[in-house]
Chain A
Amino acid sequence: MADAPDTERQAVEPDAKEVLSVSQLNDRIASVVQDTPALNGVRCIGEVTDLHQNSTALYFTLTDGDAELPCMIWANRYREMDADLEDGTEVILEGDIDYWVEGGKIDLKPWEVIVVGDGDQAAAVERLRSELEERGWFDDEQKQQPPAFPERVGVVTSLRGDARYDIQNAIHEQDPTVDILVKDATVQGSNAPTSIANGIHHLDRSEDVDAIIIGRGGGSDSNLQAFNTERVAEAIFTANTPVVTAIGHTDDRLIADQVTDVATITPTAAGEYIANSRNDFLASEIEPLEQQLDAAYETFQQEHEHEAELAEAVEEVTAPEGLPPVYYKAAIAVLLVLLLLITALWLEVI
Chain B
Amino acid sequence: MAKDSEIHDRLSRVEEIIEQLDADECNLDEGTALHEEGQELLAEVREILDEGSGEVVELE
Contact = CB atoms under 8 A, between A and B. Distances in A.
B60 to A, nearest CB: 5
Nearest to A149: B3
Interface stretch (A7-15, A109-117, A300-308): A300-308
Contacts of A210: 1-2
Interface in B1-33: 1-4, 7, 11, 14-15, 17-18, 21-22, 24, 27-28, 31-32
Interface residues of B, number: 36
A180 interface: yes
A282 interface: yes
Contact of A285 (B11, B38, B59, B60): B11
Contacts of B35: 293-294, 297, 300
B31 A179 contact: no
Contact of B46 (A151, A159, A208, A282): A282
Contacts of B55: 179-180
Contact of A300 (B7, B21, B42): B21
Main secondary structure of the interface of B (DSSP, over half): helix
Interface stretch (A170-178, A252-260, A326-334, A337-345): A170-178
A178 to B, nearest CB: 6
A286 interface: yes
B33 to A, nearest CB: 11
Nearest to B48: A149
Contacts of A147: 2-4
Contact of A168 (B18, B34, B49, B56): B56
A162 B52 CA distance: 25
B52 A293 contact: no
Contacts of A208: 1
Contacts of A290: 39, 42
Contacts of A296: 17-18, 21-22
23 contacts: A148-B2, A149-B2, A149-B49, A150-B2, A150-B3, A159-B58, A176-B54, A177-B49, A177-B51, A178-B54, A180-B57, A184-B59, A278-B49, A289-B14, A289-B42, A293-B39, A296-B17, A296-B18, A297-B21, A297-B31, A300-B24, A301-B28, A301-B32
Given A297-B38, A300-B35, 6 more contacts: A148-B4, A172-B54, A180-B54, A292-B18, A293-B14, A305-B28
